[in-house]
């Protein structure tokens, strides 16, 4: 297939880690091509001045953000910007016929009041927001395929929901008992320098943050409530881990039926994810390492049941910048284009 | 005070990380002196051949383990050996008048059947074992002061119990809801080389292990049951973190009284640990970093309440080899000798 | 192209890091297929029991090493074994018509006495050894294309020679001044557990080893001497770095012509590597980070001249397990098969 | 000794890593007490809001920088500020009778033109600068003891000079052959957030920077020239290592006398540092690990001779924030006060 047949896409917000993943993934994708690299403060620079290692593969300049031009040039646009900016751009891009995939929180909430409550931003694009689909293909594959606007999930919600969804969907657990103890590498904090993310501060150490108040909580709860059919509260605690990439979500919940054993749960998870090529359910007794998912769009899941406490413990591991961000966005676009959802995405990490 | 007045102590099992912490701490202790360094496979070597960095401070040889000689030379003996060895040596040492502090699991259980069940080892020293006191000074200070034999807690139980104890002792939580999600640096796995502990394997990664089956679970439950006054089950999940030292225990439990707020909990914890100089309760909204405890005998505790879920979340951070092992053993010996429990132990980390 | 048209290859020594790289790379190669996975102590196990993360992609069993069977099934064989074993197997495999790529030191030396001197092993396969070509394609591309037996370079020599070769080949430096200060991640030490490679030991630290006596020294010198046309001694010092993958070689040498400036050197390096698609020469003032090469077969090179001291400083960065080991072996096989040397090899890292 | 007898000292620039080391070290020093903590942007804050882990030990507020007040309250002042600020404050403090120890580059150069050339700052305090002594006690112990103003060395020069000094002082090497390949943890870059120092960027990677142009070069050369008795140029290349603390300097130089062997060099180094309690010369064949020096004021030195190339290779390891910064400053003040130079400084790391 010649390049002329490739679908041209744009990336707005190219300088951050989300942007560079998208750029990287697009170099390998057989049916997409990067037609626009847009940035604000970085406009006018060669992309390789920000990321010298890919100078031999990416010669593009970062252009100023001009929605007209972008829509002219691109069939689909990835918005990789701080919260509150996508909602200013998406309506225009959609109007001009672009498919839009937003990596920020702007289009993740079916109820914009929840968004305004947790993010402190007012919104005036309710009609557009109502058309957005939550970009977790393992749950909303069909709706994503029909969507023009996808609100791609955060990295923590992706890891958490991959572990939680079968439990809530199948009504296996007492909903008020669900706890997500999540651990993330520091790349989740972005490329803007902050003291707490310095190697000197974050290495050799470990701590929780935003306990009982992290913004990803309502996002997790929204989807769990949707799956359960009633309002659900989830305890979510993020921790910063001295590593670059990767999230592990350790999920705890009390089983409704104390007779269920590990093999039952494995069977249920296996069925739930039967048509999900990016989910790898591990055999009994094997628990995921985040490194296994490094640089791939995979989600590894391990399941355990504790007959003493009647709890299920589920562990899911993803690469926070891939399945937790850019890889999943491309997985969504694959679906929106009617392609295989695995197309052009990396399937196997290098190890160790 | 001249060296003649110092109390001579022995360390058996000097080659591992527990041993080298003890040796290191003894170089600074004003009232103790190292009189015997015993090892098995390492006997006959200079200690500095194992740990060259302390060659200028420690000139001792590792001697074969000869209980007669040890008892002749030492008033107190630290046993830093694999499980199942201390119970062969402690009876003799006690008989000869030594105080014994065991860092293995052998003397941590009031019910030896629990020990045999989880460790797979039969025991024939029940009478001696009954005299052992669990070496967590913040809970059993008075009994330790009277003891001849102390079973020093494991690193995970120490971190977990520091967070859990006020909750169980004061009956603040629904006991069946307690979950400990624990994270440890790899030094907890010891100095014997194992594939999973290689830097190439463990760095840049994160995973749970021994889910629903870790041996430290019954140890935590024994003490929680003692505090609660009835049998308690605790969910305990350990994770291996890509760092050398440190444990963080993130503890979850549902409050009995939904009206309690964070400040209430901080008051209760403050009172519980009022006379515990090694516990540092953090102000509201500050959560501990394991690095803060690095190289010290401190335990930092942060407390949060989630009014949405009615849960308390407590985080405790220790150095797994200090408060989680060797430092705490010396804290115990300080009490057994009638000294200040802070004597000779490091109080402040270097940062970063 | 159907699988029937793929060239079947074998990997002997599948359990180590070299083996798992080869297996991983073969899953992506469009013209090769893995037909035999051979091991000794691991024979009879599923490969995914050693590396669970690739269970969904690699279902093969590890088979005992049976040279007959291997030769029946494979057109080419990678030997990824400890030193001294390949020389027992290669003659048989070659005789049966297999192409052989050895990742150990056995076939790297044109003078077997040098091998015997540094590795302490006698050899009785001189005739076979004489047919071996040193597998550094950037220097010996044509000879590799004709070879049946390739001795693939060590990771340190690859990094060192990529930086040194233009200097020696073009006679730019005083040969006795060449110094290689090399830094490697710990995966270079292999998967066999050793105390010094534990995360607890190697993390947060840095040190040199085998100073003035590392076995890779004669390998570097042999090639430099070949390029220079006379015997050359090189100072080589390896350091262990607290990271998993990657080698940086910092090379120092005094220029013969004090008038040369950085741009001259960049021109010379550019010309030298003009036809080497895996070498990425960085613009003036940009120096390579090992992470840029992570998971790729690339070698990034930065060049600097110090007019004050009249020295050239060249830095080369590779992934020690890829361009430094398995990737380069496949690059060689590509040449031996008459294919593009870039075929099926990863060209761009994920960052960060 | 009561606190009334302690010497009151001030720390200006308390918020950075240099500041927090000084504060930490002062909590343990038996004859010094912290009487003033001065900062600019951080003035008015509690110190523990910057460094919560030491809240239980340090209750001081950060005060605005008021030289009058400082001089009233303090006998000695540590200036831990960016380059170019100390030279504005030191003259006033000296005039008022304070001893001044500057941790910046301002008072390290005997020739201020060199300073102006490399740091781009004009100076108008030449008379004061001429009274400054370079604060490396192992070389200038006697002059430091008499000084009122000490320019404390940078971390790289300290590590480099500890390795180089015996070679230059004793005329053992061809001076034009000296090369320092230095490796530093990222804490050397300070606590101000910069992209390149983020864990996400710096972890798992390694690279050189400021090649042939680092500002520490003239500082190293000044002292080497002083020792050699003639002008000396030194090749200095710094590398950023994925670890928090520590510097390793690997030094190469060609011996004048090809007959010297390792034992000769060890003898010479031993004699050179005989009266230097902070230098630990390692036995033949043992090379230093930076971790050994962690949290101490020690410098570990290993020496090797390569008879093949006639080169000496010396490795020195320090904690960049201790012997490389704050610890050494206190070592200097000990000397200036007429005390033992070891007073109150940590002598032994925790390991691992």
pLDDT, one tens digit per residue, over B22-37 is 999 999 999 999 999 9
- Tokens 């599948």 belong to C14
Peptide bond into B352 cis (omega under 30): yes
Q: What is the pLDDT of residue C35?
A: 97
- The mean pLDDT value for A255-262 works out to 96
Query: Do B300 and B280 form a contact (C-beta atoms < 8 A)?
Result: yes
Is C1 or D83 the better-scoring residue by pLDDT? D83
Q: Do D203 and A204 touch (CB under 8 A)?
A: no
Q: Which of B17, B193, B203 lies at the smallest CB-CB distance from C203?
A: B203
- The minimal CB distance from D286 to the residues B21, B52, B294 is found for B52
Closest CA to A182 of A242, A244, A235, A250: A250
Distance CA B305, CA B284 (A): 10
D231 or D5, greater pLDDT: D231
Give the mean pLDDT of A72-86: 97
ipTM: 0.97
Sheet of strand C149-151, all strands in order from the earlier edge strand to the far edge:
C32-38, C7-12, C76-79, C99-102, C149-151, C133-134
| Helix orientation angle between B326-336 and B17-28, rounded to the nearest 10 degrees | 50
Whether A256 has a pLDDT exceeding 50, the answer reads yes
**Residue C34 — φ and ψ, nearest 5°?**
-80, 115
Residues 47-86 of C with CB under 8 A from B: none
Does the active-site annotation cover C152? Answer: no
Beta strand D311-318 pairing with D299-306: antiparallel
State the Cα–Cα distance between residues A219 and A233, nearest whole angstrom: 11
Task: Reduce the DSSP state of residue B271 to 3 states and report it.
Answer: helix
For testing the chain C interface, which of D185, D188, D197, D211 should be mutated: the one with the most C CBs within 10 Å?
A: D211
Q: Helices D17-28 and D326-336, interaxial angle, to 10°?
A: 50
* Cβ atoms within 10 Å of B196's Cβ, excluding its own: 14
pLDDT score for D2: 47
Please, which residues have CB within 8 angstroms of residue B21's CB and are 6 or more apart in sequence? B321, B322, B325, B326, B327, D350
Contacts of B291 in chain A (CB under 8 A): 204-206
Mean of the per-residue pLDDT values for chain B? 96
C-alpha to C-alpha distance for B263 and B265, rounded to whole angstroms: 5
pLDDT at position B5 is 86
What CATH number labels B3-152+325-336?
3.40.50.720
pLDDT-based confidence at D5, cuts 50/70/90?
confident
C233 with D205: Cβ contact below 8 A: no
pLDDT, position C4: 59
Taking the Cβ of residue D90 and every Cβ of chain B, the question of whether any pair is shorter than 8 Å is answered with: no
Domain ranges of chain A: 3-152+325-336, 155-318
Give the Cβ contact number of residue D285 at 10 Å: 11
Whether the CB-CB separation of B262 and B175 falls below 8 Å is answered with no
**Maximum CA extent, chain A:** 63
Q: What is the pLDDT of residue B4?
A: 59
State chain C's mean pLDDT as an integer.
96
Segment A297-351, tens digit of pLDDT: 999 999 999 999 999 999 999 999 999 999 999 999 999 999 999 999 999 999 9
DSSP labels, A294-327: TTSS-EEEEEEEETTTTEEEEEEEE-TTTTTTHH
Q: What is the pLDDT of residues A44-77, one digit of tens each?
A: 999 999 999 999 899 999 999 999 999 999 999 9
Question: Which tens digit of pLDDT belongs to each residue from D282-304?
Answer: 999 999 999 999 999 999 999 99
Burial of A146 per CB tally in 10 Å (0-12, 13-18, 19+): exposed
Kindly state the average pLDDT of the residues C144-160: 98
Minimal CA separation from D257 to chain A, in Å:
43
Q: Using the CB atoms, write b or e for B79-105: b if 16+ within 10 Å.
A: bbbebbbbbebbbebbeeebbbbbbbb
Residue with tokens 């390896």: C238
Segment D192-226, tens digit of pLDDT: 999 999 999 999 999 999 999 999 999 999 999 99
Q: How many CB atoms lie within 10 A of CB A276?
A: 16
Q: Are A8 and A26 in contact (CB under 8 A)?
A: no
* pLDDT higher than threshold 90 for residue A4: no
DSSP-derived pairing of the beta strands C179-184 and C247-254: antiparallel
β-pairing, C7-12 vs C32-38, is parallel
Residue A101 vs residues A25, A134, A153, A276, A325: alpha-carbon distances, Å: 15, 10, 10, 20, 11
Environment class of residue C127 by beta-carbon count within 10 Å: exposed (0-12), middle (13-18) or buried (19+)? exposed
In this structure, the strands spanning B311-318 and B247-254 are antiparallel
**Which phi and psi angles does C327 have, rounded to 5°?**
-60, -45
Alpha helices by DSSP H, listed for C252-345, are: 262-272, 290-293, 326-336
How many contacts, defined by CB atoms under 8 Å, are there between B and C?
63
The token pair at D131 is: 């009274």
Residue at token pair 């739930």: A272
For residue C169, give the 3-state DSSP assignment.
Answer: helix
Nearest CA to C249 among C195, C323, C308, C307? Answer: C323
Give the other-Cβ count within 10 Å of D82's Cβ. Answer: 13
- D29, two tokens: 């020093």
Whole-number mean pLDDT of chain D? 96
Put simply, the answer to whether C348 touches A57 (Cβ < 8 Å) is yes
Instruction: List, edge to edge, every strand of the sheet that includes C299-306.
Output: C207-208, C235-240, C179-184, C247-254, C311-318, C299-306, C279-281
Token readout for B20 is: 């080298």
Cβ of B197 within 8 Å of Cβ of C194? The answer is no
- A7-12 and A32-38 strand pairing: parallel
CB contact under 8 Å between B199 and C244, yes or no, is yes
Both tokens of residue D210? 């400021």
**Which member of D189, D197, D200 has the closest CB to residue A187?**
D200
Cβ contacts of D2 within 8 Å, gap of 6 or more = none
Candidate CATH numbers 3.40.50.2030, 3.30.1130.10, 3.40.190.90, 3.30.360.10; the one for domain B155-318: 3.30.360.10
C202 contacts chain B (CB < 8 A) = yes
**Residue B295 zone, left/alpha/beta (φ > 0; ψ -120 to 50; rest):** left
Kindly determine whether residue B199 and residue C204, on different chains, have CB atoms separated by under 8 Å: no
Return the percentage of chain A with pLDDT > 90, whole number.
97
pLDDT value at position B2?
46
List, in sequence order, every residue forming a beta bridge with B63; answer none if it has no partner: B38
To the nearest 10 degrees (0 to 180), the angle between helices A326-336 and A137-146 is 40
The candidate with the shortest Cα–Cα distance to B13, out of B119, B136, B102, is B102
Q: What angle do CA A64, A70, A71 make, to 5 degrees?
A: 155
Please judge whether D200 and C352 are an interchain contact, meaning their C-beta atoms are less than 8 angstroms apart.
yes
Q: Report yes or no: C289 and C280 within 8 Å, Cβ to Cβ.
A: no
Distance CA C104, CA C90 (A): 12
Exposed/middle/buried for D196, CB within 10 Å: 0-12, 13-18, 19+? middle
Flag whether residue B280 sits within 8 Å of chain D, measured between CB atoms. Answer: yes
Q: Which three-class secondary structure state does DSSP give residue C318?
A: strand
Q: pLDDT per residue over B131-156, tens digit each?
A: 999 999 999 999 999 999 999 999 99
User: What whole-number distance in Å separates Cα of residue A136 and Cα of residue A152?
Assistant: 7
Q: How confident is the model at residue D338 (pLDDT cuts 50, 70, 90)?
A: very high
Decide if pLDDT at D109 tops 90: yes
Q: Rounded mean pLDDT of B107-114? A: 96
Catalytic residue selected from A155, A224, A299, A332: A155
Nearest Cα residue to A179 out of B237, B228, B232: B237
pLDDT at A135: 98
pLDDT at D1: 41
User: Mean pLDDT throughout D111-124?
Assistant: 95
Read off the pLDDT band of A5 (50, 70, 90): confident
Asked whether the beta carbons of B74 and B94 are under 8 A apart, the reply is: no
Which residue in C has a C-alpha nearest to residue B352's C-alpha? C204
pLDDT at A1: 40
């Amino acid at each position: 297939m010649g390049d002329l047949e490739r679908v041209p896409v744009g990336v707005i917000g190219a300088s951050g880690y989300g942007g560079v993943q998208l750029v990287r993934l697009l170099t390998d994708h057989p049916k997409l091509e990067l037609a626009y690299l847009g940035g604000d403060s970085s406009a006018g620079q060669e992309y390789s001045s920000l990321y010298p290692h890919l100078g031999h593969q990416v010669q593009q300049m970062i252009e100023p953000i001009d929605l007209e031009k972008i829509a002219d040039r691109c069939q689909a646009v990835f918005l990789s910007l701080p919260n509150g900016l996508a909602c200013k751009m998406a309506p225009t891009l959609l109007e001009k016929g672009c498919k839009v995939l937003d990596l920020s929180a702007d289009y993740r909430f079916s109820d914009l009041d929840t968004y305004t409550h947790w993010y402190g931003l007012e919104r005036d694009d309710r009609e557009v927001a109502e058309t957005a689909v939550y970009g977790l293909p393992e749950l909303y594959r069909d709706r994503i395929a029909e969507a023009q606007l996808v609100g791609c999930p955060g990295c923590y919600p992706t890891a958490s929901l991959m572990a939680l969804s079968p439990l809530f969907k199948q009504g296996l657990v007492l909903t008020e008992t669900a706890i997500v103890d999540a651990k993330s590498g520091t790349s989740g904090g972005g490329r803007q320098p902050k003291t707490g993310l310095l190697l000197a501060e974050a290495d050799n150490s470990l701590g929780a943050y935003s306990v009982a108040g992290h913004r990803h909580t309502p996002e997790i709860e929204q989807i769990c409530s949707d799956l359960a059919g009633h309002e659900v509260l989830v305890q979510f605690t993020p921790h910063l881990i001295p590593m670059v990439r990767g999230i592990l979500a350790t999920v705890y919940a009390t089983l409704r039926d104390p007779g269920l054993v590990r093999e039952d749960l494995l069977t249920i998870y296996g069925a739930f994810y039967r048509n999900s090529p990016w989910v790898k359910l591990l055999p009994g007794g094997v628990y995921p390492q985040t490194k296994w998912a490094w640089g791939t769009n995979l989600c590894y899941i391990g399941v355990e049941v504790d007959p003493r406490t009647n709890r299920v413990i589920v562990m899911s591991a993803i690469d926070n910048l891939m399945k937790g961000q850019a890889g999943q966005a491309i997985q969504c676009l694959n679906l929106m284009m009617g392609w295989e959802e695995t197309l052009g995405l990396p399937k196997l990490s290098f190890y160790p």
